[in-house]
A and B are shown apart, each in its own frame.
Chain A
Amino acid sequence: MSTSNLIQDLINGTLLGGLYALIAVGYTMVYGILRLINFAHGDILMMGVYFSFYFIAALTMPWWLGFIVGIVGAGVLGFMVERIAYRPLRSAPRISSLITAIGMSFFLESLAVVVFGGIPKSFNLYPTFFSKILIIGHTRIQVLTFFILAVTFLLMFVLIWLLYKTKIGIAMRAISVDIPTTSLMGANVDNIIGLTFIIGSMLAATSGIMWAMRYPQVQPYMGFVPGLKAFIAAVIGGIGSVPGALVGGFLLGMVEILIVGFFPNLAGYRDAFAYVILIVLLMFRPSGIFKVYSEQKV
């Protein structure tokens, strides 16, 4: 493989990994607090992309505004899913909320098929300068790539700042180890959990929109594969840990791209790599890369 190809792969790996990472954050935060795998997470992502699509295509909003409104819409949807489907089951056996999450996933996908139609729609809604190709040395990079990388890193920076430097972030970390004790701090735990769903859903929708810009289409099942990969990334990183989800996402994206880069004839097995990495890692480090404080039981 030539150097320029390697650089290209490293950039693509970072980009794909960043997209996984943004989605993985939502899985890991929700799991950290509720011990719930939010199977509907990828579908909330998909809904966010559809929202942007229609705001831009049907309501003729400027592209950037359409993206923002779609992202906010996904946040609202994530909040509603928690409020309507998960909150009533918070003290029920965990299997109940797990099944509900699977049901919610099917529901959102079917809803999208009925409302938006099952045929993929082209997502070429952004200005043409995103498609411009910059040639740096022998490496060809699309402007879109820079845009996605910039947005990804900016959001990660904001997320880390929020979690580690703000009051609400401290509460979000507190609630991830101990819900009752967090309420002993006079904090309304429902609000903190709701906010967690909003943040996770907005990050996933941002990732989904950037995903749709790069593979420019939107369809009702588009959340499935990125959602699954991001979930694997969260497990690899240590589910419950936000830094773990970020590292797991980048690791998975990078490995996926590099294996295909070095062994092009394995490209067809690309999606299987995620499982191989997962299985191998879990054999040696069952709790993932980052240590997570487990919930304290009375």
Chain B
Amino acid sequence: MSEVLLKIEELNVNYGAIHAVKGININVNEGKIVTLIGANGAGKSSTLGAIIGLVRSKSGKIIYNGKELIHMRADAIVRSGIALAPEGRRIFPNLTVEENLRMGAYFRKDESGINKDLEWVLGLFPRLRERLKQMGGTLSGGEQQMLAISRALMSSPKILMLDEPSLGLAPLLVKEVFDVIKKIKQEGKTVLLVEQNAAVALAIADYGYVLETGKIVLEGNGKKLLESDDVRHAYLGVSV
């Protein structure tokens, strides 16, 4: 068994009267791909937001590497080794692809390490290399997703969090992106993958959680969830 790198205990997130995350528990083991699947509005992005410090947690614990993250600033959390490729990609449209990537490494001082990681991500997504001098805003949706993932990797994170990377991508591109996510894991990174597309997420995940209106209703290894009737019915559109 590998170590638990990120541990979420009884996490609650509220937006005014809306109780978006209701006391969830999640373990992310080092070197694994863990996925959090759920429908629209289930609370997936709120969970990632709470981990990264952009959304305030009401109560609970988020322990990373033995350290409590709640009440830490987002930028400090990122510097401590967690990166997020956010929902909607959030590319800087007014920066070139290369500037977007260098922003990902903003706080790093090891110039040679930065250049090495730049080569690495451009190897993962060769398409970005052709577009280095192009403005981020001119990229296609798929390219923007590749850039968002690469930009997150440029901080050299221990944990890479991805919020619906398959959203709006053609099936062929989804396959390309998910193949790369597997490669990222092989490089020793830990991945927390949020998806509505349960089939593709569970296919590459070591462990998965199913989130429904703020609660974890099911968890288990990827295969087990893929075969569970609930998941097949609710998320894969299979009638059982």
A binding-site residues for B, Cβ under 8 Å: 167, 170-171, 173-174, 176-178, 180-189, 293, 296, 298
Contact = CB atoms under 8 A, between A and B. Distances in A.
Given A171-B106, A174-B103, A293-B137, A183 B92 contact: no
Nearest to A188: B75
Contacts of A177: 92-94
Given A177-B93, A184-B86, A186-B155, A170 B75 contact: no
A175 B137 CA distance: 15
B106 A186 contact: yes
A173 B106 contact: no
B104 interface: yes
A183 B94 contact: no
A183 B95 contact: no
A187 B92 contact: no
A259 to B, nearest CB: 34
A177 B137 CA distance: 11
A174 B92 contact: yes
A291 to B, nearest CB: 10
Contacts of A293: 93-94, 137
Given A186-B75, A188-B75, A178 B92 contact: yes
A185 B54 contact: no
B103 A178 contact: no
Contacts of B102: 167, 170
Contact of B78 (A171, A185, A296): A185
Contacts of B87: 298
A184 B137 contact: no
A288 to B, nearest CB: 15
B168 interface: no
B107 interface: yes
Given A170-B99, A177-B94, A183 B74 contact: yes
Nearest to A170: B99
Interface in B81-99: 83-84, 86-88, 90, 92-95, 99
Interface string B130-161: 00000001000000000000011001000000
B95 A185 contact: no
14 contacts: A173-B95, A177-B92, A177-B93, A177-B94, A183-B54, A184-B75, A185-B75, A185-B78, A185-B107, A185-B155, A186-B155, A188-B75, A293-B137, A298-B88
A176 B75 CA distance: 17
Given A170-B103, A296-B90, A184 B78 contact: yes
Nearest to B90: A181
B185 interface: no
B83 to A, nearest CB: 7
A177 B152 CA distance: 18
Given A170-B99, A171-B106, A181 B92 contact: yes
A296 B94 CA distance: 12
B52 interface: yes
Query: What are the 3 closest A-B residue pairs judged by CB atoms, nearest first?
Result: A186-B107, A186-B78, A181-B90
B191 to A, nearest CB: 17
B44 to A, nearest CB: 14
A174 B90 contact: no
A186 B87 CA distance: 17
A122 B112 CA distance: 55
A273 to B, nearest CB: 32
A184 B74 contact: yes
Contacts of A178: 90, 92
Q: Which of A167, A174, A181, A187 has the most CB of B within 10 A?
A: A181
A131 to B, nearest CB: 44
A180 B75 CA distance: 9
A81 B92 CA distance: 28
Given A170-B95, A186-B155, A296-B88, A180 B74 contact: yes
A108 B79 CA distance: 39
Nearest to B78: A186
Interface in B143-189: 151-152, 155
A173 B92 contact: yes
A35 to B, nearest CB: 16
B92 A184 contact: no
B52 A184 contact: yes
B73 interface: yes
Contact of A186 (B54, B79, B88, B90): B79
A171 B106 CA distance: 8
B216 to A, nearest CB: 24
Q: Which of B90, B92, B93, B152 has the most CB of A within 10 A?
A: B92
Q: Which of A173, A180, A182, A184 has the most CB of B within 10 A?
A: A184
Contacts of A180: 54, 74
Nearest to B155: A186
A185 B103 contact: yes
A184 B54 contact: yes
Nearest to A169: B99
